[in-house]
Structures are given as structure tokens and as C-alpha cells.
Amino acid sequence: MTAIIVFCILSFLLVSGKILRTLIPLFQKLYLPSSVIGGLLGLIIFSVLGDKLPAEWCNAIKKIPGFMINVIFASLFLGAVTPKLKTVFKTAFPQICMGQLLAWGQYAIGIGLTGLVFIPFFGINQTFGNLLEIGFQGGHGTVGGVAETFRNFNWEDGIALGYTVATFGMISGILVGMVLVNWALKKGYVKEIRTFAERSYMERIGIYVGKERPSAGLQTVFCDSIDSLAFHISLIGIAILIGFGMLKGLQALEVLIAPQAQIRFLKGFPLFPLCMIGGVFLQMFLNKIKIGELVNKEQMQRLSGASLDFLVVAAVATIQLKVVADNFLPLLILCICGLIFCIAMVVFVAPKLMKKDWFEKAIAEFGQATGVTATGLMLMRTVDPENKTEAAASFGYKQLIHEPVMGGGLWTALALTLVFTVGWLPIWILSCVMFIIWSIIAALIMYKR
């Protein structure tokens, strides 16, 4: 019964968020997603009602993000045609460099601030610094994915703080991103932009009309054998199962190799990065047996998008305001420093690093670095609505290299466990070294040009 109630509550909040966005022009101008609006509505409702709601409802809603992120990562490469590495690097290497600089810079800033300032003055947990990259680049889904890691290492406050950083990042990413878009328009860096005033009423409220409605994907199997949507959902489930098997196998191997060890590095390692690998292995197997074409990428994207909407609305609605209030000052400093760094990278580094179509590419990176991939795509489509530049292809290729590692990938998950086990200082030094290495690579790219 609890599952039914939770599904109904989240559905109500999502639709309410869409209605509010349709009715309130300010939300349209701010380009706020309905999931964020619905989540904020849920946060208000849960804060007002407090203990009047059954505890099992709230606890169940809190578990939704941790499950949905597995679905999102499992579907990431299912149905995708992977290009040759030579093509990826030739087209998108400067953008890969930009993405790595943003990610490692966030680690260097976040962990450095925590170790050098927040721990001595505020006595905060040493993994607080990881929240900048987890929340900004990884977003609500990644926070949900590492929730068990926070619980296993007895710092459950990190979940609420992570969701807060992710919410701040998504909203500020959209708002500041649109400011940067208008700045670029005035400077003449972009010409294809369609301003809010130029959009039709239906575009502003986010509704397709008539023949403009795009396909949500192709059916690849006859429904009298298995429904196409059920088939694709099942493939995601198999990818998650492969990831789960890998996780349990790695944990068992760690125990076998070092049975007397006091520290277990894989004890709190999350499942979702391995679900992504499971999806890659499954797609490779399907290609090998000549049925890879039965997986439709558009259907996978719709399933991933639906999962993300439910994930965000659940994550925002269950933020613990007391935990946020108790850590407000270091949280604010962390988010503002991270945001300033991302802005500086777009304004000062991107023009020299990416040259052709530099702003279209850079604004996509800014969106992802503050508010996950969806924000980056939204900002990119604002400045390049008809894909007349190289930005979309370059961003897509870059994701193939960047996404499996950073922004919710393997390193994002591993770094959190490492800070919990070996401490903040070694990971901060490593982050600084990696940032310097990618800075040298960026400098070489600029020099070559």
C-alpha cells in the first residue's frame, strides 16, 4: 500500500509542478523544470504537515532517488552507437578537457575549503567537500545513488546537504546560465539564439502542438510477443542485475584478498556506476548476437527522462531543512565558490580553449557543471536551437569519455569512499595534481592554435 501512496504523491507533485509552470510566467522565464517546482511544493507540504504524515511514506520517498539513479545509469549506453575513439577525440578533445577542468576544479575547491577552513572552524565532516562535485555535476540522482555510502559511514546529514547543493546548482545553473546567454548575445558571440520574447505561448509553457510533437521512440518488437516498452524496461533491469552482481563480486574479492583488513574500500561503494557498465556489457552482448538494433535509444531516453523527473521531485521534497540550517554558512560558501569558478571557466578559459562555436560548447559545459546534463542541453538548445553549430556533436562525444568517470561516474563514487576511509588530504592533493595536469593539456591546446 505504501508503494501506491508514494507513487500517487510523486505523480501529484509532478503534475502540480507542470500546472504551476504553465500558470506562472516567472517560472517560465526562469526555465525551472516542473520536477523542481513540484519538489519545492512537496518540501513546503512536508514541512507544514511534519509528523502528521505516516513515517513510512516519507521514508519510502527518500529511497526513490537511490533506486531511480540506477535506472538512469543503466540506460545511459543502451541503444547507443558508440563511435570510434579517434572520432571522439578529434571532434571533442578540447571539450573533454573543459569538462575535466571543471570537475577536478570542483574537487580541489570543495575538498580544499573543507579541509583547510570548514573542519577547523565549523567542525564539519571531511566529506563535505565532495558534495560540490556530487551535487553540481552529479545532481540529485548521484546524491541518491551515494546515499547508502553516507549511511554506511554514519553521516546521513550528507544526503540532505547533497540534495541542497544539487538544488542550488540546478537553479543557479539555469539562472546564471541565462545571464551568460544574454551577455554572449550582447557581445555578439551567438546569433542563433531565440529569446523568451520570441517564443510562442505554447513554447513558453512547454507544450508541443499538432504535427510538431516528436516521436517518443520506435517500437522494435511486436506487442503480441512482448510490449516494446516492457522489453526496454526489462533490459534496464538486466543491466542493473549485472551491475549488482559485479558489486557483490568485487566486495567478496576484497574480503578474499584482505580478510583481516580493518578498512573496506568497497563497503559503501554505490551501485549506479556499475549499472552503467552493466548496460555497456549488455549492449555489447546484444550486438554480438545480432539483435542490438532491437534496443531503441529514444525509448531509453524517455525511460531515463521519466526516472529523472521522479527522482528530482522526490529528492527536493525530502530535503531536511534543519540539517541545511545547521550547516548554512559553510554550505553557502561552498556553493558560491563553486559557482564563481564555473563562471570564470566559461568567461576566461573557454574562448581560448574551444575557439569555434566556443560559447555554444561552453554554456553546455556550464549547465552540466552546475545542474547536470539536462541543464547543459537546455542552455545549449537556447543558443543553438537548430543544431547549426558543432556544439551538440561535440558535447555528445565528450559525454562518452566524461560521464563514465566524473559527474556521477566511477571516480565520483570512489572519491567519496576514499575520503571516508583515507581522509581528505590525499584526495585533495590528487585533485589538485589532476587539475594541474589538465591545465597543462589545455595550455598546450591553446599554444598549438
Residues lower than pLDDT 50 in the chain: none
pLDDT number for residue 259: 80
pLDDT number for residue 69: 85
pLDDT number for residue 369: 92
pLDDT number for residue 261: 67
Q: How far is CA 409 from the centre of its chain?
A: 10
Reduce the secondary structure of the chain to three states and give it as a string. CHHHHHHHHHHHHHHHHHHHHHHCHHHHHCCCCHHHHHHHHHHHHHHHHHHHCCHHHHHHHHHHHHHHHHHHHHCCCCCCCCCCHHHHHHHHHHHHHHHHHHHHHHHHHHHHHHHHHHHHHHCCCHHHHHHHHHHHHHHHHHHHHCHHHHHHCCCCHHHHHHHHHHHHHHHHHHHHHHHHHHHHHHHCCCCCCCCHHHCCHHHHHCCCCHHHCCCCCCCCCCCCCCCHHHHHHHHHHHHHHHHHHHHHHHHHHHHHHCCCCCCCCCCCCCCHHHHHHHHHHHHHHHHHCCCHHHCCHHHHHHHHHHHHHHHHHHHHHCCCHHHHHHCHHHHHHHHHHHHHHHHHHHHHHHHHHHCCCHHHHHHHHHHHHHHHHHHHHHHHHHHCCCCCCCHHHHHHHHHHHHCCCCCCCHHHHHHHHHHHHHCHHHHHHHHHHHHHHHHHHHHHHHHHC
pLDDT number for residue 159: 93
pLDDT number for residue 196: 75
| 75 neighbors 420 (Cβ within 8 angstroms) | no
| 155 neighbors 419 (Cβ within 8 angstroms) | no
The whole-angstrom separation of Cα 263 and Cα 258 is 10
Comparing C-alpha atoms, which of 125, 81, 27 is closest to residue 284?
81
| 177 neighbors 150 (Cβ within 8 angstroms) | no
pLDDT number for residue 222: 92
The whole-angstrom separation of Cα 31 and Cα 34 is 9
DSSP 389: S
pLDDT number for residue 339: 96
The whole-angstrom separation of Cα 113 and Cα 219 is 50
First to last CA, the chain: 63
pLDDT number for residue 264: 67
pLDDT number for residue 206: 83
Comparing C-alpha atoms, which of 274, 236, 262 is closest to residue 414?
274
